Amino acid sequence: MATDWTKIMKPYPGRLITLPDGSEMEVTGMERKDIDSVCDALIPNLTYHKELFDLVTSEIITELFLWRENRPIWELPAGSQFCLVGRVNGEIVGVTNGGCRDPKIGNSLHTTTLKRGLQIGAYLWPCKLEHYFDVLGVDTVEASAESAIGSRKLFKTYGFTEHPYPDRYSHFGAILQTMTKPQWDRIKAGKLVGEKLG
């Protein structure tokens, strides 16, 4: 029986986070109608080659366009996708997206930022995990680090494990790592910051 994703994909309640420079970033869920404007905002990153920002951004744009057309993304069923957007004073400063393999297994896709040095990606990442575990109710999140900075700053510090699937790889060839709900519950207090909006 086919999964009815319209009953599973609940909206992200939103979060207000104070950045290191004192500005406030509002993190909200994105709707399909916002895809074109979010992709337009990401275009400057296509020419930023450091730490694979250009590659990651091009993949996010492709994934958002596939979501717009209600097509599967990297073996994730159509309808299982979501995207969270960080904004400061209405300006998009970061984007993180994902989907689900099934109702209990999430698959993190990408995270990118448009302003450097403010830890925006590090703040968006736990918002995505909050959405997976606390809103959508998955048991496990699969992810893989596409860049060295992602592996160094996020995966290792969050305690993702590599060993469950040593022979499984993401669409870009990196080993899939996993986090479980009990792992998230242990680290959440130290990683998830800001004020919940909804």
> Other C-beta atoms within 10 Å of 92: how many?
19
Question: Where are the chain's structural domains?
Answer: 12-196
pLDDT of residue 53: 87
- CATH number for domain 12-196, candidates 3.40.50.2300, 3.40.50.300, 3.40.630.30, 3.40.190.80: 3.40.630.30
pLDDT of residue 166: 58
Torsion over CA of 179, 184, 186 and 187, rounded to 10 degrees?
100
> Other C-beta atoms within 10 Å of 91: how many?
12
C-alpha 110/C-alpha 125 separation (Å) is: 9
Listed in sequence order, the residues at least 6 apart from 135 whose beta carbon sits closer than 8 Å to its beta carbon are: 10, 11, 12, 13
Could you report the per-residue pLDDT of 52-70, keeping only the tens digit for each? 889 899 999 999 999 999 9
pLDDT at 167 over 70: no
To which H or E segment does residue 40 belong? Answer: helix 35-42
Average pLDDT over residues 183-198: 93
Largest CA distance in the chain: 50
- State the pLDDT confidence band at 44, using cuts at 50, 70 and 90: very high
pLDDT of residue 106: 95
